[in-house]
Structure 1
Amino acid sequence: MSRKPKDLTVWHGHHVVDGNELRSQFTPDPDDKPRLFRRILHGFMLTLLVAIVVSGGWMAWAILTGNLVLPQAAPSASAALGCPQGPFDYAAPDSVHVNVYNAAAKEGLARSVADQLAQRKFAVGKVDNAKGAGPTAALIVSGPAGESAAFTLQRNVPGSVFSLDSRGDASVDLILLPSFKQLQDASLVDQTPGPLMCAGATQSPQVPVTPAPLGSNG
């Protein structure tokens, strides 16, 4: 009677895995490719997220400790000086309410200029003396509501510069300084839209206006 061949895949009741079976466990099933791709993509995204978190934390630490200084855009000269950007349209002169002050120590100058502006249909208000100094011909002052009016007046006063204050109305002050000569010839006034020329643009300081009536009314 012949013996039955011994099963070499069984050892003391346990199944012995051979090389072919072992390789089959690590060989990807063609049907598992989408799943494998998702696993790879998930791993990549997880790694990227960790890198972003680590980089963000490092940058925050570096900024807080002063080891990293972010570049900042330098503000424009006009913005730093509070100079309106414009452009502004030339307004109807009769809509411009202007006060004229004489800081040039020339008797009767404010009244003379005020009369000339009135002839050009400007709405003239106060006419008085003032104390002030500066290298420019004149200083034009208004609040935000009077910027367009200030632009219109400035086109009539060559060499003048604009300064913004906090008044709430649209009135404009014209302060005549020692270097003032005369108004622009009425026929040569440029009425095309444009910007305001501000005090800082010509290195002119703001002129504090102190009305100082001398009995001559400007």
Structure 2
Amino acid sequence: MSMLTPPGMGGKYRIKGDTYPRMRRPRRRGRLIAALVGAVLALGLIGWGTLQLIDVFGGHSGAKAAAPKGDCKKDSASPAAPAQALPKPAQITVNVYNATPRGGLAKSVADELKKRGFAIGKVGNAPEAYDKKVPGNGILLGNPASTRGPLSVLGTQLKGAEQKVDTRNTPDIDLIIGTTFGALNTPQDATTALAALAKPAPAPSGKC
């Protein structure tokens, strides 16, 4: 036994010449592996929690929003509104007044309207308030209730006629011929305009 060898130690711990035994502690590999696995799991949990927070505060709950109840079809046509009940020409009494310098104009217009089925009332020169003071094709004048049909029906006979109301309490309406008047609309054009007036308007579609 060498003098450098401590008493009681031999075998592999025996010091021989210049060779010395390695006195290191055994490695604890199990603890190291467990620590690494724990670190990986911790990082995974932190990443998952971060994604959940982003999802919540970003407004995406992961579940689809509930669809609105009802069958809302944006492209489907809405049912048409009921047709407007318009008076027949025979139910409308028209007074024809001439506000132009041309003589006999009121009578000729009245005769034509009568052929088209209108009832004719008074025929003559326009009242002083309108005489030579109607610059357009004409003015249609009646009581406030006449705006719901009679004025519009008569308006199909004369393009560009202005509609007005006054304080009369009778159902008759006035046609005051203006200075630019040339002729009534043709029967075909008047019929087309009247059909468009009576055509049901589509009801507004609901919003989804």
**Which TM-score applies when normalising by structure 2?**
0.49
Q: Give the greater-gyration-radius structure (CA).
A: 2
